[in-house]
Amino acid sequence: MQLMDTLRQEGVRDERVLDAMSKVPRHLFLDKAFEEWAYQNVAFPIGCAQTISQPLTVATQTSLLDIRKGDKVLEVGTGSGYQACVLFLLGAKVYSIERQSGLYEKTDQLLRELGFGLIRTFLGDGYAGLPRFAPFDKILVTAGATALPDNLLSQLAIGGHLVIPIGDEDSQTMWRFTRLENGEIRSETFGQFKFVPFLKGIQ
């Protein structure tokens, strides 16, 4: 697929991630007005002031998580459901939380229709995470935060990764936090990105 070749040219090296992305029909997660551009490396609006991320962003965040079969993964910001499907195809047990009730209902139904009903979706405040299902092996935040949410970090298992963009509304730095065996947190950064803001509460 041309999109996967484009992502390779952009520096994506994880073939497992590219293979999973190639198996998810991205056009089904977009408004029909954008379908013909679905396989370009572009973000699109999906309603409720949210977007489906640029494929390069999906590939980058997913690669940083280093998903292993059976990993329990918390995705904060279900959005269109596309990212959750990529994680699922990599063998993750996906728990995904969305704060926009209209988007949550639409995406929950779509995932079931597409055969991804094993992805567990929740309507809730992403800042709170899902403490009753914690700890998680991997946590992915798909919106730009102004700071690292302590609630999410506390739900990360030993050896786990939390990938989150942090910054202001114009640009965010991609961070990966890893909980080490001794309980300490290692942090790394991976370039600049632009996301919709990470907001509290439910709408």
Q: Which residues are catalytic?
A: 53
Closest CA to 46 of 27, 69, 66, 22: 27
- How far is Cα 190 from Cα 174, in angstroms, rounded to an integer? 5
Closest CA to 121 of 147, 137, 103: 103
- How far is Cα 5 from Cα 197, in angstroms, rounded to an integer? 30
Which residues lie closer than 8 Å to 59 by C-beta, 6 or more apart? 7, 12, 14, 17, 18, 21
Residue 45, phi-psi category: left (phi > 0), alpha (psi -120 to 50), beta (remainder): beta
Give the three-class secondary structure for 97: strand
Give the three-class secondary structure for 153: helix
Asked if 105 and 158 count as a contact pair (C-beta separation under 8 A), the reply is no
